[in-house]
């Protein structure tokens, strides 16, 4: 077959568009996420998914009913374009709720922006405020998109790790703390922004008032914007308190607060806020009918059950103060199962995660993916589990425990 002139031109254009020259220069050096490789492995082995924060319990009926009525109701305008910065009914509901929480009367049409998920809000905030060369302080472990969006904007990520200050078997996310001297050293005349995630993903740490006060003082001293990622604000367990940076003295003008309706109402696939749900929950707040309070209590039970499972197989769980995830130190278990670690095959936690995928049909995340290259060693002894699906994982942990008991019996007999 002989190519036509049009066919040759089309093929040449197509080949040109598959080269790296098409991508913008700011994307050079970007690498494929470890998540992608592990997701491909998951498709092959079909494990119990304890890595994705997709709750397996139903969404509240008042939310799904409201959506159905909006889509199929007589008001056809509800299926058309709305106000670009947020539907009026929605921003008014948000204003009513957060004005009370922040102790500041919010203008729904000037001080509230509705985006496609919290990810979209982070993208808008960073792209709108960061110029090439600006430095952005990022707390480790971090949600990966903080780094990606900062680099996309031409900013320079500057990392400060949370450090574990307790070595006993029983530890909490509260035992992971910021070093004040380390934090102070990162604020310079180039610093434009700091990103704080509380309750923290994936560690579950809830930053204390004294920790936020420390950060606030540096922000005020250097005129630095504080982006507060409060995606898990409604998932704080007993004995912990969620403090809002914007309520601290002098921080209202320097704070951008980000929340997530998807996380709040277990609707992570909807990727938008829900006005009616907020209106109803505002009325029920701090009453026995509160959906959010009931959810916290149910998830706290799941967290505790997952922690017991992890302990039963020789891991050391880091008990989270909030969020969906629980991080566990697998180093003792790793020694028992004799992982044949190979430095060329990646970090220890990455290799252990793959072992769980293939041998126990359990899908988890390696913890070191939440650190920069220089600090990955801080996360190599940990893996991350989403405990909202505890019931599905219970049988897997039971079988793993039996396997480990057989290993113990064999070793004792051999001796």
Categorize the per-residue pLDDT at 167 as very low, low, confident or very high, splitting at 50, 70 and 90. low
Cα 133 to its chain centre, rounded Å, is 26
Query: Is the domain of 222 the same as that of 357?
Result: no
Residue 257: inside a domain: yes
153 and 220 housed in the same domain: yes
Better pLDDT: 364 or 248: 248
Same domain for 110 and 228, yes or no, is yes
Residue 397 DSSP class: H
Dihedral angle over CA of 213, 216, 220, 221, nearest 10: 70
Residues 355, 261, single domain; the answer is no
CATH of the domain at 176: 3.40.640.10
pLDDT of residue 403: 63
Q: Of 18, 49, 55, 20, whose CA–CA distance to 35 is shortest?
A: 49
Please tell me whether residues 233 and 144 are part of one structural domain.
yes
- Dihedral sign for Cα atoms in the order 151, 230, 291, 238: positive
Q: Please state, in angstroms and rounded to a whole number, the distance separating the CA atoms of residues 234 and 199.
A: 9
Q: Is residue 199 part of a domain?
A: yes
Domain total for the chain? 2
pLDDT score for 1: 44
Q: Under the phi-then-psi rule, with left for phi > 0, alpha for psi from -120 to 50, and beta for the rest, what region is 385?
A: beta
Q: Examine the fold and report which residue of 284, 311, 341 is the final residue of a domain before the chain moves on.
A: 284
The pTM score is: 0.86
> How many angstroms separate the CA atoms of 256 and 356, rounded?
39
Residue 333: give its domain's CATH number. Answer: 3.90.1150.10
Residue with tokens 């990520």: 157
| Cα–Cα distance for residue pair 290/296, rounded to 1 Å | 10
Structural domain boundaries enclosing 380: 29-58+290-414
Look-up of token digits 């126990």: 360
**Pair (90, 234) in one structural domain:** yes
Least confident of 7-16, 75-84, 97-106, 321-330: 7-16
Q: Which residue has the tokens 């997701």?
A: 39
Task: Tell whether 177 and 98 lie within a shared domain.
Answer: yes
- Domain end (from 227, 262, 284): 284
Distances in whole angstroms, Cα of residue 403 to Cα of each of 336, 385, 407: 11, 20, 6
Where b means 16+ CB within 10 Å and e means fewer, 78-94 reads: eeeeeeeebbebbbbbb
pLDDT of 412 above 50: no
Reported confidence tier of residue 58, pLDDT bands at 50, 70, 90:
confident
Predicted local confidence at residue 177, as pLDDT? 95
One domain for residues 249 and 318: no
Looking at the fold, whether 259 and 181 belong to one and the same domain comes out as yes
In a domain, 126, yes or no: yes
329 and 225 within one domain: no
The predicted model gives 287-291 an average pLDDT of 84
DSSP annotation string for 244-282: PGGGSTT-TTTEEEE--HHHHTT-TTT-S--HHHHHHHH
Summarised one tens digit per residue, pLDDT across range 343-377 is: 556 788 988 998 888 888 888 889 999 999 999 99
Instruction: Judge whether 4 lies within some domain.
Output: no
What tokens does 375 get? 């600090």
What gap in Å lies between CA 174 and CA 165, rounded to an integer?
9
pLDDT of residue 248: 98
Inside any domain, residue 11? no
Q: Is residue 132 part of a domain?
A: yes
pLDDT at 2: 46
Domain boundary at 284, 315, 334, which?
284
Check pLDDT > 70 for residue 393: no
Per-residue model confidence (pLDDT) at position 6: 53
Residue 7 lies in a domain: no
Q: Can you tell me the mean pLDDT for 380-399?
A: 80
Give the chain's mean pLDDT: 84
Same domain (yes/no): 90, 166: yes
Confidence of residue 414 (pLDDT cuts 50, 70, 90): very low
Greatest mean pLDDT range, 8-22, 211-225, 355-369, 377-391:
211-225
Tell me what pLDDT residue 275 has: 65
Question: Which one has a higher pLDDT value, 262 or 407?
Answer: 262
Q: Are residues 324 and 400 in the same domain?
A: yes
* pLDDT band, residue 15 (cuts 50/70/90): low
Residues forming beta bridges with residue 385, ordered by sequence position: 326
């Amino acid at each position: 077959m002989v190519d036509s002139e049009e066919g040759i031109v089309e093929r040449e254009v197509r080949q040109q568009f598959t080269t790296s020259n098409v991508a913008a220069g700011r994307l050079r050096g970007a690498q494929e996420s470890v998540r992608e490789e592990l997701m491909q492995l998951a498709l092959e082995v079909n494990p119990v998914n304890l890595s994705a924060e997709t709750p397996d319990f139903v969404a509240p009926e008042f939310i799904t009913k409201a959506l159905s009525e909006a889509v199929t109701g007589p008001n056809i305008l509800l299926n058309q374009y709305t106000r670009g910065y947020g539907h009026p009914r929605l921003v008014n509901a948000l204003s009513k709720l957060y004005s009370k929480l922040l102790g500041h009367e919010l203008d729904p049409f000037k001080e509230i922006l509705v985006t496609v998920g919290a990810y979209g809000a982070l993208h808008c905030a960073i792209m709108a405020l960061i110029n090439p060369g600006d430095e952005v302080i990022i707390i480790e472990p971090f949600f990966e998109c903080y780094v990606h969006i900062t680099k996309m904007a031409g900013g320079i990520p500057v990392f400060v790790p949370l450090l574990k200050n307790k070595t006993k078997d029983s530890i909490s996310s509260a035992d992971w703390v910021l070093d004040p001297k380390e934090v102070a050293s990162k604020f310079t005349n180039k610093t434009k922004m700091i990103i704080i995630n509380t309750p923290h993903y994936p560690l579950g740490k809830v930053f204390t008032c004294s920790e936020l006060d420390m950060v606030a003082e540096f922000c005020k001293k250097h005129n630095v914007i504080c982006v507060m990622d409060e995606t898990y604000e409604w998932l704080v367990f007993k004995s912990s308190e969620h403090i809002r940076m914007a309520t601290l003295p002098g921080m209202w003008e320097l704070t951008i607060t980000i929340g997530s309706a998807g996380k709040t109402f277990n609707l992570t696939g909807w990727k938008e806020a829900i006005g009616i749900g907020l209106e109803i929950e505002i009325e029920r707040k701090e009453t026995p009918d509160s959906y959010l309070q009931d959810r916290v209590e149910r998830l706290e039970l799941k967290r505790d059950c997952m922690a017991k499972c992890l302990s039963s197989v020789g891991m050391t769980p880091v008990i989270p103060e909030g969020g969906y995830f629980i991080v566990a130190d697998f180093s003792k278990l790793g020694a028992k199962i004799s992982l044949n670690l190979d430095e060329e095959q990646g970090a220890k936690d990455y290799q252990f995660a793959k072992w769980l995928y293939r041998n126990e049909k359990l899908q988890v995340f390696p913890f070191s993916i939440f650190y920069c290259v220089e600090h990955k060693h801080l996360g190599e002894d940990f893996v991350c589990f989403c405990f909202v699906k505890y019931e599905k994982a219970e049988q897997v942990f039971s079988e793993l425990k039996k396997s480990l008991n057989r290993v113990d019996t064999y070793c004792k007999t051999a001796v």
